[in-house]
Each structure stands twice: as C-alpha cells, then as structure tokens.
C-alpha cells in the first residue's frame, strides 16, 4: 500500500519534470520598446535586473530618495507584452501575479495602468521620478530614454 | 438575515468600486465573488451534502502612505464558506509598515499589527478569489479547518529583499499569535469542547530564491506554533497543549504556456493531555501537491492537481487510527488525497468564472480534527464541485 502511494508520487514528479522542458519561442518581428523616464531621474542607464526590480515594485525610490512612480500599459496592449517579455524577460501574467500579491496582501502598491502610449509619454514627462516605456517615436521634450545595460 | 448581509456586502463592494474610480488619489481595491459548491458524502461544506451557496468572498482594502518610509495598509473581508471556516466580517490585515532600509540592492521593512502569512505560495492571498489557482486550495497545506490560524498573526513581521549575482532573494520572518473563535475551536476540537483554546505563539521564517532571469522560483519555510487548551465546565476534554512544527519546500515554474507549482511539507504534531489527562501523542504528518496550469489563451486556463496528505508518516494507510480507536474511527481518517481538475475563463476585464471538480480519498482534513465525525463522514471516497464568479477592482 505504502509502496503504491510512493510510486504514484514518483510518477507524478517525473511527469511534471517533463512538463518543465516544454520549449517556447517568441516571434521575432516585434517593435523595439524604449524605457523612458522623467528628466528629474538621475541614472542614464539601468541594468535589466534593476528595471525588473523597479517594475516588480521591489525598488520604490531612486538612489537620491526620490519616489519612483511606475506607469504601465494595459495587459492586452502589444507594447506591454513586448516590454514584459523582451525587456524584463517575464510573461505579463507573472507581473500580474506579483502586483496582485502586493495589492491584496498589503505588501505594496501596483503600478499605475494607462491605456495608450500618448498618455504614457504625457504622464512620464509631467511626474518627477516617473518611469514607463513606449514603442512609438518620442515626440515629447521632457522625456529621457534609458540605456538598458545587457548582462 | 444572512441573505441580507450578503446583499448588503455586495452593494458596499459596488459602491466602493464607484468611489475608487472617482477618487484618483485614494488607493482602494477589492473583490466580490459568489459561487455554488457541493461536497457530497462529507461534511466539508455542510452537514447534508446538498448544493450550497456558502461560497461568498468580499473584500475591500486600502493603503495610505504617510511618507517614503511609513505607510499603513488594511483589508476587511466578509466570508461565507459553510463548515470550512467561520462566517462573517473580519479584519484580514491592518498594520503599520516602516521601511528600515532601501539601497540599490536591499529593501528591509517591518510591519506591526495584524499581518498576513507571507510564507507559503498562496497564503497571503488565499481569500482573494482571482489570485488563487482554484476555489478550494490543496488541503494538505491550505487546510481550511485551520484557516483562521494560518491566515496571519497579530504581531510583527520583518521582510528583507535583496538582489545579487545569484538572483532575487526574499527573507520573511513573523512572530505573534491569533485569536481562536468559538466556531474555529469547534472545527478543531468538536462541539462538546466547552473550554478555551488559545494560540499562544506562532513563529515562521521563509526564504525565496529566484535565480537571475530564470523561470524558476524555490522556497523554504519553517513554522513553530504552540496552542493551549483550558478545560471548561462539563467538558469532555481536559486542559492540555499542542505544538505544530512544519518544514515546507516549494517550487514554482512559470513558462509561456505552463505554470507548474509544488509545495511539500513535513509536520510534527505533539499533543499532551487534552483528550484525557496523561494523553501523549507525537506524530509526523507528510503532505504536498503538484499542480499544473496550462494557458490555452489569455482568457482560458486549465488546471490539474494531485494533493496527498498522510496524518502519520509511519501509518500511511491509517490502520493505527482504526486499531487505537478499537474500530470506532475508520483508517481513512488517517489520510486525504485529492485529485482536482478545473478551468478558469476570464471573459471580461477584471471578471472571471472558475469551475472545478475534486475527487477525494480519505477524510483526515475534515472537521472536527481531534474528535472525528464518523457519522457524517462515513465514505472513504467522496467528491466535490464548485463554480464561482469573481470580480475585482
């Protein structure tokens, strides 16, 4: 009896291990997404890990103690999906899960969700300490583009 | 009366939604969920095994930041879960959070008040329907009878997050206790326990590691909880103590189409006196689940899970339970295994419907725990289904 139960558990472990090796790919024809900040933000470049930390809301202030205001686009927006997978190396549902945990367990706050890239550029340019991302050409003056440092 | 409360709560939830949209500067979030559930041949949801609407979860939370290092957060919930846990309103969490340190690589903060359990994969949002993989969580670890004790503590929490060349790390520590209501006491000890059950201390520690830019996450948590019982008038139980010590490992893989999660635990449960003067019990339980979610599309998710629990690792088929009770308690009260399959359909922004079916063998996680109800739970095999509609804001 005990052995049967042990075998069942082991079989499940093997099955799940197989699932872990499921390959995936992301289409190559994707727009380039730029990380943008308000000109008040000091750093001109950020590593992928730092950007991931900021958009996961693990880092809430810049090194000069200025509060970071994080703007994101709606989940279904293509730029959000490209930013999430290509820049952060995460799937949109992973970000959702992190933000849900923050909001519904009191741990922190979620980013401010916007509907369009135009709104993103406008809000980032107006809010000191703000960070966001866009794929479209930048036609607003008060915006700095962050250089993303690859590993 | 219960129906009026349920309707009133739904209205309050909707009003808060409207308020939330109107007041941009105030952070208010919440959720409203109602479902139907049936667990035939067991008392998991109700005593008669009929279809029940006791699957209501409503919550509203808010957070206020005083300055860059001090904030306050709270959430109130109204829950109805039948026999699973006590019904009604409660403060889910309400604490003051102080950020002790923030550098490029470290964030350390402390919370004082009623805190959430941040130590397990789903513990911090187990009452928030849209954040759960299923309506009923795997009972080996997310034991509903013990819900109010496991949900969090009145006390202190220390949280540290860091990033280094190996990846992201979270360290969590909590210390405190929780109040045990009369209904919770009955779920654990039975209706004839007239004394007072106290959760004296609860200490938990956990570590999470996400290797740099990896799709895997690994976690380890330790729990030590002490309880005491003071005998009441005409009580069938006697004064006694109980200690639970848990070690848990968890794994999470998040791919493009698949999410695989597993948590396994070993729990030593020591009971002194309680059932009668001089009673001694020292058992080590084992349990865990393996869960796979497949994302058919951004709207549709499929779920499959196997959950296993043995009350005593040296008596996995429960034969000792039967022998020691002189045949009064069947062996299947020593185990509870559960196969679950489910589907989630997110058909509109912030609205989804979840449906699931559970096939269960054994009754070890059914209330009351210390004095098994062999009349209502007279089937070794039983099943359960549930459908829940949920909205969040």
pLDDT value at position A7?
A: 60
Query: What global pTM score does this model have?
Result: 0.87
Determine the topology of domain B2-392 in CATH.
Porin (2.40.160)
Predicted ipTM of the assembly: 0.89
Name the percent of chain B lying above pLDDT 90. 83
Instruction: Choose from A104, A111, A115 for mutation: most chain B CBs within 10 A.
Output: A104
Residues A148, A151: Cα–Cα separation, whole Å:
10
**Vertex B66, ends B89 and A125: CA angle to 5°?**
115
What is the per-residue DSSP string for B20-49?
A: HHH-SSSEEEEEEEEEEEEEETSSSS-SS-
**In this structure, are strands B336-348 and B167-177 parallel, antiparallel, or unpaired?**
unpaired
Length of chain A: 151
Q: In this complex, which of B128, B260, B262 lies closest to A104 when CB atoms are compared? A: B128
Our separate counts of H helices and E strands in chain A read 5, 6
User: Which residues on chain A are in Cβ contact (under 8 Å) with B124?
Assistant: 101, 104-105, 107
Instruction: In whole angstroms, give the CA distance from residue B392 to residue A104.
Output: 10
d(C-alpha B176, C-alpha B180), whole Å:
13
Q: Using CA coordinates, name the residue in chain B closest to A104.
A: B125
Range B370-381 average pLDDT: 93
Query: Taking the domains of chain B in order of start, what are their residue ranges?
Result: 2-392
What pLDDT shows up at residue A21? 43
Cβ separation of A106 and B59 shorter than 8 Å?
no
Partners of residue B110 in chain A, C-beta under 8 Å? none
Indicate yes or no: CB of A91 within 8 angstroms of CB of B306: no
Q: Which helix (H) or strand (E) holds A130?
A: strand A130-134
Residue B251 has pLDDT above 60, yes or no: yes
Q: Residues 46-85, chain A: which have Cβ within 8 Å of B?
A: 48-50, 52-53, 58-61, 63, 65, 67, 75-76
The closest alpha carbon to B27, from B60, B68, B76, B70, belongs to B60
Q: A97 and B131: CB-CB below 8 Å?
A: yes
Instruction: State how far the Cα of A47 lies from the Cα of A149, in Å rounded to an integer.
Output: 5
Q: Which two tokens stand for residue B72?
A: 């306050």
Over chain A (151 residues), the average pLDDT of each successive run of 10 is 55 50 44 94 92 93 90 95 94 96 95 96 96 92 91 63
Q: Is the pLDDT of residue B278 over 80?
A: yes
* Residue of A1, A22, A100 lying closest to B131 (CB–CB): A100
- CA A23 to chain B, closest CA, distance in angstroms equals 9
B41, exposed or middle or buried, with CB in 10 Å at 0-12, 13-18, 19+? middle
Whether the CB-CB separation of B340 and B356 falls below 8 Å is answered with yes
pLDDT value of residue B18: 47
Indicate the average pLDDT of chain B. 92
At residue B22, φ and ψ (nearest 5 deg) are -75, -35
Q: pLDDT tens digit string along B102-132?
A: 888 899 999 999 999 999 999 999 999 999 9
Whether the predicted pLDDT of B3 surpasses 90? no
Q: b vs e for B303-336, b when ≥16 Cβ sit within 10 Å of the residue's Cβ?
A: bebbbbbbbbeebbbbebbbeeeeeebbbbbbbb
The strand pairing partners of B245, in sequence order, are: B224, B268
Asked if A100 reaches chain B (Cβ–Cβ under 8 Å), the answer is yes
Q: Which residues in chain B have their CB less than 8 angstroms from residue A60's CB?
A: 68, 102, 107
Q: Which residues pair with A46 in a beta bridge?
A: A148
Instruction: Locate the DSSP E strands across A11-107.
Output: 34-37, 45-47, 69-73
- Edge-to-edge strands of the sheet including A112-114? A45-47, A144-149, A34-37, A130-134, A69-73, A112-114
Cα distances (angstroms) measured from residue B26 to each of A129, B20, B92:
20, 7, 20
Q: Which residues of chain A have a CB within 8 Å of the CB of B257?
A: 22, 24
B67-94: pLDDT as tens digits: 888 999 999 999 999 999 999 999 999 9
Residue B66 CB-density burial (10 A; 0-12 exposed, 13-18 middle, 19+ buried): exposed
CA distance B38 to chain A (A): 27
Q: Is A22 helix (H, G, I), strand (E, B) or coil?
A: coil
User: Residue B260 is nearest to which of A19, A52, A93, comparing CB atoms?
Assistant: A19
Which pLDDT tens digit goes with each residue over B291-314?
999 999 999 999 999 999 999 999
DSSP A73-95: E-TT-HHHHHIIIIII---HHHH
**Is residue B199 within a helix (H) or strand (E), and if so which, with residue range?**
strand B196-211
Determine contact, residues B83/B187, Cβ cutoff 8 Å.
yes
- Name the strand (E) or helix (H) holding A101: helix A92-105
The helix (run of H) or strand (run of E) holding residue B272 is strand B258-273
> Judging by DSSP bridges, how do beta strands A45-47 and A144-149 pair with one another?
parallel
CB contact under 8 A, B124 and A58: no
The single residue listed with the structure tokens 């080590």 is B284
Statement: residue B2 has pLDDT above 80: no
The model's pLDDT over B327-347, given as tens digits with 9 standing for 90+, comes to 999 999 999 999 999 999 999
Which option is the CATH number for A34-149: 3.40.190.10, 1.10.260.40, 3.40.50.720, 1.10.760.10? Answer: 3.40.190.10
Closest CA to B367 of B377, B382, B378: B377
Interface test with B, best of A42, A105, A148, A151 (most B CBs within 10 A): A105
Instruction: Please state the rounded mean pLDDT for residues B188-203.
Output: 93
> Where are chain A's structural domains?
1-30, 34-149
């Amino acid at each position: 009896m005990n052995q049967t139960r042990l075998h069942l558990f082991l079989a499940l472990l093997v099955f799940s291990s197989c699932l872990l090796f499921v390959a995936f790919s992301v289409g190559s024809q994707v727009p380039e997404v730029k990380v943008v900040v308000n000109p008040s933000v000091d750093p001109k470049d950020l590593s992928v890990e730092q950007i991931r930390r900021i958009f996961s809301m693990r880092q809430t202030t810049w090194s000069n103690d200025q509060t970071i205001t994080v703007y994101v686009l709606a989940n279904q927006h293509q730029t959000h999906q490209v930013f999430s997978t290509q820049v952060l190396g995460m799937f949109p549902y992973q970000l959702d899960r992190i933000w849900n945990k923050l909001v519904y367990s009191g741990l922190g706050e979620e980013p401010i969700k916007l509907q369009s890239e135009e709104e993103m550029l406008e809000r980032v340019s107006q809010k000191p300490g703000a960070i966001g991302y866009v794929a479209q050409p930048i036609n607003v003056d008060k915006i700095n583009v962050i250089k993303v440092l690859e590993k | 009366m219960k129906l009026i409360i349920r309707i009133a709560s739904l209205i309050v939830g909707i009003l808060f939604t409207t308020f939330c949209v109107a007041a941009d500067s105030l952070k208010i979030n919440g959720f409203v969920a109602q479902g139907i559930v049936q667990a035939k041949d067991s008392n998991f949801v109700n005593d008669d095994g009929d279809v029940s609407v006791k699957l209501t979860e409503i919550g509203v939370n808010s957070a206020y930041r005083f300055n860059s290092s001090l904030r306050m957060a709270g959430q109130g919930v109204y829950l109805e879960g039948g026999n699973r846990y006590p019904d009604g309103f409660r403060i889910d969490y309400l604490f003051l959070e102080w950020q002790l340190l923030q550098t490029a690589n470290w964030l350390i903060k402390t919370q004082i008040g009623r805190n959430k359990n941040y130590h397990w994969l789903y513990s911090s949002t187990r009452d928030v329907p849209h954040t759960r993989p299923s309506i009923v969580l795997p009972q080996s670890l997310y034991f509903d009878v013990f819900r109010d004790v496991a949900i969090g503590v009145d006390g202190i929490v220390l949280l540290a997050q860091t990033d280094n060349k190996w990846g992201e790390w979270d360290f969590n520590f909590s210390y405190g206790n929780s109040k045990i209501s009369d209904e919770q006491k009955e779920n654990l000890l039975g209706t004839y326990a007239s004394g007072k059950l106290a959760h004296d201390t609860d200490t938990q520690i956990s570590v999470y590691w996400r290797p740099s830019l990896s799709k895997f996450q690994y976690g380890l948590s330790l729990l030590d909880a002490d309880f005491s019982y003071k005998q009441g008038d005409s009580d069938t139980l006697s004064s006694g103590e109980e200690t639970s010590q848990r070690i848990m490992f968890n794994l999470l893989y998040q791919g493009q189409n698949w999410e695989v999660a597993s948590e396994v635990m070993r729990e030593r449960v020591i009971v002194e006196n309680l059932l009668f003067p001089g009673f001694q019990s020292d058992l080590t339980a084992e349990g865990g689940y393996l869960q796979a979610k497949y994302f058919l599309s951004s709207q549709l998710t499929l779920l499959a899970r196997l959950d296993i629990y043995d009350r005593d690792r040296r008596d996995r088929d429960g034969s000792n339970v039967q022998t020691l009770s002189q045949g009064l308690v069947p062996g299947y009260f020593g185990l509870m295994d559960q196969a679950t399959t489910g589907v989630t359909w997110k058909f509109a922004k912030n609205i989804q419907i979840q449906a699931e079916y559970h096939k269960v063998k054994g009754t070890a996680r059914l209330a009351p725990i210390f004095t098994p109800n062999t009349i209502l739970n007279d089937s070794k095999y039983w099943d359960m289904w549930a459908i829940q509609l949920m909205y969040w804001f």
